[in-house]
Amino acid sequence: MRDLGGPWSLVLVNLAVWGIITVGTQVLLTPSLGTVPTILIGVVVTSILTLGYPSALRGPGATRFLGGAEGRTRRSARRRVVATAEPLRAGLTAESAAKTVRLLRPILDADAVALTDRSEILAYTGRGAEQHGSGTPLQTTATRRALDTASTVVVTDPADLQPDTPFASAVVVPLRVSGEVVGTLKAYRVREDPPLPELVEALAGVLSLQLELADVDRERELAANAKLDALRAQINPHFLFNILNTIASKARTDPETARGLLLRLSDFFRYSIQQQGQFAEFGQEYFFVRTYLTLEQARYGDRLGVDYDIDPQVLTARVPVLIIQPLVENAVKHGLAQAVDGGTVTLRAKADPLSRTTTVVVADDGVGMPPEVVDHLFDPPGDHLHPVADEGSGIALRNISARLSQLFGERHSLRVESSPGEGTVVELRMPLT
């Protein structure tokens, strides 16, 4: 594989990708996508760019900052991927598959790319397309083996392909939805070295995620569940953008750490989209918060300390999904990020069986807030007398307060104490369930 340039080129490409994704999904698409789908598209595409092109992590190369004709060709291919980054959100159909294979072929550097379901080819592009149109039955043993074993098949023997095939190698990766294999992604080459299996697997993972999101969309239409709306309100795209920049900066000096952070980021989003209903065990939310703080510590380094004080009894208590992480994010973003020397975020939680309450406290020793700001944190948006209520942590706190009122009525409390230069304490008390 050719060298793609130094680490700064990777950062620039990731920045460009996020810009294109934002314009494509929020401006060009009608109706525009929600925040969560937009963020997921950006994460998976930039993750592929970071992991799928390891030569970009090795330092300066012959084409600085992706310059030259080859660099322009690769940039153009990536822009085409981003422009219609989620065609499979309509489901695994011949139409969506046709759009997808055309986008994937330049990324995979393959002579042909195909998408199949479990019985036939849905779409094919590249050499031999006239013999392998939509609806052609599956014929290769490699495809059947990938479907049956639910594992990647790397072909280096043309005998595993069709008779009289022009290809010498291939990679076949199964597509999964909710743990079940629903089809395959196939990449072929006429030369003996096959496409990079890790890259094909990463792209198959992207497609599988899109198919899962399509299922989620259908479930949301059928069920009166506000889960995705709550997620859209809580997840901060700036956090993701900053974490991706952190990963890109570490990719050259510490690729193993970069890879680990990408896995953490994947855990972060997988938890977000897989939660069912409005409640989860505190232990699950605790893992989610720890994952978030691990990513932030990679960004802030020694400027961000973390302290946990968790009562073991609270781990099995059920709490509202995504109610704690935004409080912790507020502490990092508005409490410590603006402090010259940083500080420490503390998470305390306990269950009281006698009073049947769960108490969660998120504290920081950061910059704090003056009394006039604290007094108006929960003011309605658009209050011109107190415009500070529309900024910073007030938005998240109002969202949390509204959700708690909907779930518990008067059986909860949300209290904020803060002093300039001393930090902020947020205490949440709710029924033990």
Beta-bridged to residue 188, according to DSSP, are 112, 170
CA distance 397 to 401: 6
Cα distance between the two ends of the chain: 55
What was the pLDDT predicted at 83?
41
Question: How far is residue 202 from each of residues 36, 50, 54, 64, measured CA to CA in Å?
Answer: 20, 11, 13, 26
Tens of each residue's pLDDT in the chain, 433 residues? 334 445 556 666 666 777 777 766 666 555 566 666 667 677 666 666 665 544 433 333 333 333 444 445 444 544 444 443 456 666 788 888 888 888 888 888 899 999 999 999 999 999 988 888 888 898 888 999 999 999 999 999 888 887 778 899 999 999 998 889 999 999 999 999 999 998 888 888 888 888 887 776 666 544 434 444 544 445 566 677 778 888 888 877 888 888 888 888 888 877 776 666 788 999 999 999 999 999 999 989 999 999 999 999 999 999 988 889 989 998 998 889 888 888 999 999 999 999 999 999 999 999 999 988 888 888 766 554 444 444 555 677 888 888 888 888 889 999 999 999 999 999 999 999 8
Listed in order, strand segments (DSSP E) in 335-396 are: 343-352, 357-364
For residue 93, which amino acid is it? T
| Helix or strand run (H / E) with residue 38 | helix 35-52
Q: Coil, helix or strand for 307?
A: strand
pTM here is 0.50
* Rounded distance between C-alpha atoms, residue 172 and residue 361, angstroms: 49
Rounded Cα distance, 43 and 247, in Å: 11
